[in-house]
Chain A
Amino acid sequence: MARPAVRIQVVEFGVLVGLALLVTRAAQVQILHGRRWAEEAQAQRTERIVLQARRGTLYDRHGTPLAVTQETYHVGIAPNELRDPATDGALISRRLGLTARTWQQALRRRYAYFAGPYSALEVQPLRSVRGVHLESVLNRFYPDPAVARATIGRLGDDGLGASGLERTLDSLLAGRAGAAVVLKDRAGREYESPARVIAPPVPGLDVVLTLDLELQEIAQRALDDALRRMDADAGDVVMLDPATGEVLALASRQRDGSARPSAFTDTFEPGSLAKIFAAAALLSLRRVASTDQVSGEGGKWRVLGRTITDEDPQPSLTLADAIRVSSNIAIAKFAARLTAEEQYAALRDFGFGALTGIEFPAEATGRLRPPSEWTRPSAASLAMGYELSVTPIQVAMAYGALANDGLLLQPTLIREVRSAGGGLRYRHRPEPVRRVVSPAVAAALRNLLRGVVERGTGTEAALTNFPVAAKTGTARRVVNGRYAAGEYTASFAALFPADQPQLVLVVKIDNPHKGSYFAAQTAAPVTRSMLEQALAARTVALDRARLSTAAPRAATAPADDDGGLVPYVVPWPYQPDSAGVGPRRAVPDVAGVGMREAVRTLHRRGFRVSLRGWGVAEHTWPAAGDSAAAGSMVTLFADPYAAVRVRARGPAPPRRGPRR
């Protein structure tokens, strides 16, 4: 037996070896593999989550939300965690709209998941139920899903814009997702500890569209009524402001009730709508005098192996008569005074055969063949609006050029872009494309169009007190490359009022089956109905100050003469809606001020005020610091918590100019 001292040395050596092994292993774990183990531990205890960015809101021009982002929920149920499966089950089934069978199936699973998404209101009573796990997710919500559906578009399953403006504006609306790290327990459940935010989400920008909700509603209802009444295949309505190119309303409808953006994507032969463009070329190039007349040929004229007919034969016609009664023969004869290049250039200048440049993901160019591809009758056909295909938005912009003293503008659907805090990032300014005709020629052409409504084919669109300038168009439809018998497109383009027009309306009705197929009896009355409704509406983008002076016949036909009719009552002293007449003034900053004081301040500056919300003034449209015409409408947005936000935000930043 060894001596005690030796035994102690052996034990000491053993302990030392053990310690050395321990230190070596510790060094191996901590130093050599330390990073890997640390990462593994981190992964077990933490999870990196994506913080969704709030998608920007789409507003109409008056600040009414058209598309908003809201928190919704997916619901997870852990049946074994429920305190009282019977009672809780009844509540959960009721709130989530589950059938008894679905609920029984859910109870048999370890964890049941219902994607929904469910609104905050639906899941509110479930928050206190043990075993119910809510997962919040931001979702797009359309307060009135039927309004301008095809124009606004929708999101795809990936949350990105899939169609319409949601797609075009995706980069502006989407914002930037953030990231955070949350702690988890061994079972992978998140601790109720605050997440560590690595990158905060950046909300998307808000976009104010040019659409006017009330005009949009008027257009959609009028189109729906017309299609039903006429048993038509489809239809489109476009309304725009000719002075700015802003599209105010866009309605498209198919027979089955579906809506696709056919005002941008579907082309048609405009027929007589295009006669005014031949007249524009003739007047601009001085190829016709107001007294020049051509023979009406008794309503039937054979030329270049083709017979041209008129619905309303006249013995002889001036250019004004040709437009007024929509004479094919006369316009074909007058157009023969133009060379092919001149006729082509005129149509091209008005924007046909080219994209308008509107901010929409899909747009058709239409068809306008160059003179090298024309056949012998092409010149006459083009003067009558055949051998040419256009979209309703192209027609609206071309007529807008006539209304805008000959200046063709680029159409737009975007009025303003604002940051989530309300700061202005972009404001649309009218973007001229080119001068198409001189102001004098444009005025002469408007006069020709006025004759159409007063004594021509467009009398069904005439208003008693307001002059309207317009043109009818009834064209045969091409089906499978041939003109189909008995199929027509009825269209109508109008400028309202005829002097200093504020509104361009284009109505197109495809294939009306019931009653007349002529635009004079189909599209023209629809236009009048929409104009009457627009006049009676409170908030539509019409300048009533200018309208009141553009109603010469009102003086000769006072409302008192209409026995039993109740006049539309306007407040006195009358204050005009907007623009043009009054001097421009800076909009005062009323953020954080009480509602009453804010309204007083705006009134003192000479603005009219439209209120949105209640509480404390938050911001205005136009924004503080922007200029607006005295007497124009300023929308005041209020919020009960605005004062807190305004204090937190600090003073309003200096106004930034538009980006382009």
Chain B
Amino acid sequence: MTKGRHWVALWLAAFLVTTWLVYARQTAAIRAARELADLRARRANMDGHRADLERRIRAAESRAVLVPRAQARLGLHLPSDSEIVLVPAPSGSH
């Protein structure tokens, strides 16, 4: 009789351990999935931020913006070719 109870207890314990393992694994997986989703969201956010900054930098660097400002604020002008001097590379400079 006592031996039978031990077996029942053992099976019950095994069942509980197995159930707990499944539960723990599921919980960990769901937590990892949430973290992954959060990281993806953060990455998407940073990508979006980077793209926005790149777009603004590109716009700020464009000739349409720079040239008029350089002319108006700094008094610069686009050089004519006579103002551009290309110095010949000395032989053996590589």
A120 touches B86 (CB 8 A): no
Chain A hits for B47, CB < 8 A: 70-71, 120
Q: Which residues from 539 to 579 on chain A have a C-beta closer than 8 Å to any C-beta of chain B?
A: 544-545, 547-549, 551, 554, 557, 559, 562, 565-568, 570, 572-576
Minimum C-beta distance from A300 to chain B (A): 38
Kindly identify, within residues 135 to 165 of chain A, every residue whose CB is under 8 Å from any CB belonging to chain B: 136, 141, 143-144
Main secondary structure of the interface of B (DSSP, over half): helix
Does A606 sit at the interface, judged by CB under 8 A? yes
How many Å lie between the Cα of A4 and that of B25 in the bound state? 55
Shortest CB-to-CB span from A504 to chain B, Å, is 18
Docked complex Cα distance between A56 and B84 (Å): 39
Say if the beta carbon of A132 comes within 8 Å of chain B: no
| B19 interfacial by beta-carbon distance below 8 Å | no
Please indicate the chain B residues that have their CB under 8 angstroms from the CB of A576 in the complex: 89
Cross-chain contact A121 with B78 (CB below 8 angstroms): no
B29 at interface by CB-CB < 8 Å: yes
Tell whether, in the assembled complex, residue B87 and residue A532 are in contact, meaning their CB atoms are under 8 Å apart.
no
Chain A residues with CB under 8 Å of B2's CB are: none
B83 contacts across to A, CB distance below 8 A: 559, 562, 565-568
For window 21-69 of B, CB contacts with A under 8 Å fall at 26, 29-30, 32-34, 36-37, 41, 44-45, 47-49, 51-52, 54-55, 58-59, 62-64
Contact A119 B82 (CB under 8 A): no
* Given A570-B87, A572-B87, residue A535 in contact with residue B81 (CB < 8 A): yes
Q: How far is the CB of B10 from chain A (nearest CB, A)?
A: 31
Name the A residues within 8 Å of B86 (CB-CB).
544, 547-548, 551, 554, 570, 574
Complex Cα spacing A278 to B5, Å: 110
Taking the closest CB of chain B, its distance from the CB of A495, in whole angstroms, is 15
* B89 surroundings in chain A (CB, below 8 A): 545, 548, 573-576, 581, 631
B69 to chain A, nearest CB (A): 14
A218 (CB) vs chain B CBs: closest residue: B63
Number of interface residues of A (CB under 8 A): 57
Decide: B59 and A574 in contact? CB cutoff 8 A.
no
| Interface presence of A464 (CB below 8 A) | yes
B45 & A559 in contact (Cβ 8 Å cutoff): no
| Contact of A217 with B52 in the complex, beta carbons under 8 Å | no
| Chain B residues, CB < 8 A from A562 | 82-83
Judge whether A646 is part of the interface by a CB distance below 8 angstroms.
no
Task: Flag whether B85 is at the interface (Cβ < 8 A).
Answer: yes
Report which of B29, B37, B58 forms a contact with A143, defined as CB distance below 8 A: B58
Question: Quick check: B54 and A143 within 8 Å, CB to CB?
Answer: yes
**B4 at the binding interface (Cβ < 8 Å):** no
Please give, as numbers and ranges, the residues of chain A lying within 8 Å of B55 by CB-CB distance: 143-144
> How distant is the Cα of A532 from the Cα of B82 in the complex, in angstroms?
9
Please indicate the chain A residues that have their CB under 8 angstroms from the CB of B58 in the complex.
64, 143-144
The reply to whether B84 and A568 form a contact with Cβ atoms under 8 Å apart is yes
Closest 5 CB pairs of A and B: A120-B48, A548-B86, A464-B82, A463-B81, A568-B84
